[in-house]
């Protein structure tokens, strides 16, 4: 590689142009290391339409899921319009990308984009994404991805809402035969939007902020009364944002924690809800 064509320049061009690393390197060589001229070169080649559309906002999308015996993969892929998102070719792309992610377990999205696309050994995932941009005439982005390693003796609940606009996953540890219960809790996660699993997971700075707000609402009362009122408001806050303390959406006489405990009593097996994911198109990183 020529001295003036650094990995940093290649990365910058890829971020600006949205084409594969090899194409970026070729364009920089042709442009003698000048990024603007490299972009101009890309526009004059087959990647032209993709480069022009990379800056457009992609507010629509699908969150896809793929599962193997060892892993679960969540991938969000966005486009500009719901018309493209509903297209069969776009949806097939989402399914294939999720399957590749679940199988290869990439360490990062950046690493994943350079993987070979399953349907064409000569093309990377990022390069194939650009062919879709050219085909649909819209910007298409693989926005985020997470690969979840499965554990032994656990049940996994998956719930997809509004054709992949919101997706949740729940993990119940202690029994591998409770996928239906896990799915019911995943449905609850979609409906009730918990932010944390349990109070211990809530950042202390957020708790302190809630305490300050509560105290500001009850000025002038005796200290012991203030303490009890603040404690009650913090509990109410936890009941709203923590999954285990939320009222179960299908039976509001119990919490999600009580639901899990009741199931454990029925089976005589220790059971614990250990983690959950809730993704909504456009949210998150």
Domain residue ranges of the chain, discontinuous segments joined by +: 7-53, 56-150
Integer angstrom CA distances of residue 174 from 60, 202, 276 = 38, 24, 15
Sheet holding 60-67, edge to edge: 60-67, 71-79, 141-149
pTM: 0.78
Write out pLDDT tens, residues 39-56. Answer: 777 766 655 455 555 556
Write out pLDDT tens, residues 53-107. Answer: 555 667 899 999 999 999 999 999 999 999 999 999 999 999 999 999 999 999 9
Q: Encoding tokens for residue 179? A: 């996928």
Identify the bridge partners of residue 154 per DSSP, sorted by sequence position: 173
pLDDT above 90: percentage of residues in the chain: 60
Report how far residue 39's alpha carbon sits from residue 76's, in angstroms, rounded to the nearest whole number.
27
Report how far residue 82's alpha carbon sits from residue 76's, in angstroms, rounded to the nearest whole number.
14
Query: How high is the pLDDT of residue 53?
Result: 55
Report how far residue 66's alpha carbon sits from residue 147's, in angstroms, rounded to the nearest whole number.
9
Tell me which of 3.30.420.10, 1.10.8.10, 1.10.8.640, 1.10.4030.10 is the CATH number of domain 7-53: 1.10.8.10
Number of C-beta neighbours around residue 242 at 10 A: 21
Query: How high is the pLDDT of residue 280?
Result: 95
* Shared fold status for 7-53 and 56-150: no
Query: How high is the pLDDT of residue 235?
Result: 95
Write out pLDDT tens, residues 133-180. Answer: 888 888 899 999 999 999 999 999 999 999 999 999 999 999 999 999
Query: How high is the pLDDT of residue 44?
Result: 65
Query: How high is the pLDDT of residue 18?
Result: 63
Please determine, for residue 199, whether its predicted confidence score (pLDDT) is greater than 80.
yes
Q: Encoding tokens for residue 163? A: 């054709």
Report how far residue 263's alpha carbon sits from residue 270's, in angstroms, rounded to the nearest whole number.
9
Mean pLDDT of 212-237: 85
Query: How high is the pLDDT of residue 56?
Result: 61
Q: Measure CA 14 to chain center.
A: 22
Report how far residue 64's alpha carbon sits from residue 76's, in angstroms, rounded to the nearest whole number.
6
Per CATH, the homologous superfamily of domain 56-150 is Elongation factor Ts, dimerisation domain (3.30.479.20)
Query: Is residue 87 a contact partner of residue 136, using CB atoms and an 8 Å limit?
Result: yes
Backbone angles phi and psi of 153, in degrees to 5: 55, 50
């Amino acid at each position: 590689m020529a001295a003036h064509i650094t990995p940093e320049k290649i990365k910058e061009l890829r971020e600006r142009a949205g084409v594969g690393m090899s194409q970026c390197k070729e364009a920089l060589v042709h442009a003698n290391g000048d990024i603007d001229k490299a972009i101009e070169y890309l526009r004059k080649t087959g990647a032209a339409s993709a480069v022009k559309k990379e800056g457009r906002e992609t507010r629509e999308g699908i969150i896809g899921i793929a599962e193997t015996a060892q892993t679960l993969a969540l991938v969000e892929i966005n486009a500009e319009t719901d018309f493209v998102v509903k297209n069969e070719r776009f949806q097939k792309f989402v399914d294939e990308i999720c399957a590749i992610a679940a199988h290869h377990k990439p360490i990062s999205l950046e690493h994943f984009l350079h993987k070979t696309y399953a349907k064409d050994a000569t093309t990377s995932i990022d390069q194939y994404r650009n062919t879709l941009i050219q085909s649909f005439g819209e910007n298409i982005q693989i926005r985020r991805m997470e690969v979840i390693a499965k554990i032994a003796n656990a049940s996994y609940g998956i719930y997809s809402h509004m054709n992949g606009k919101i997706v949740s996953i729940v993990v119940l540890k202690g029994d591998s035969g409770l996928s239906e219960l896990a799915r019911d809790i995943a449905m609850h996660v979609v409906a009730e939007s918990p932010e944390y699993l349990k109070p211990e997971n809530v950042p202390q700075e957020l708790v302190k902020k809630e305490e300050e707000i509560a105290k500001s609402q009850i000025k002038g009362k005796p200290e012991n009364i203030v303490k009890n009122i603040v404690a009650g408001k913090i509990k109410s806050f936890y009941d709203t944002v923590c999954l285990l303390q939320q009222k179960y959406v299908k039976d509001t006489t119990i919490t999600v924690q009580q639901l899990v405990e009741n199931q454990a009593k029925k089976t005589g097996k220790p059971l614990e809800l250990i983690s959950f994911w809730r993704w909504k198109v456009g949210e998150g990183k």
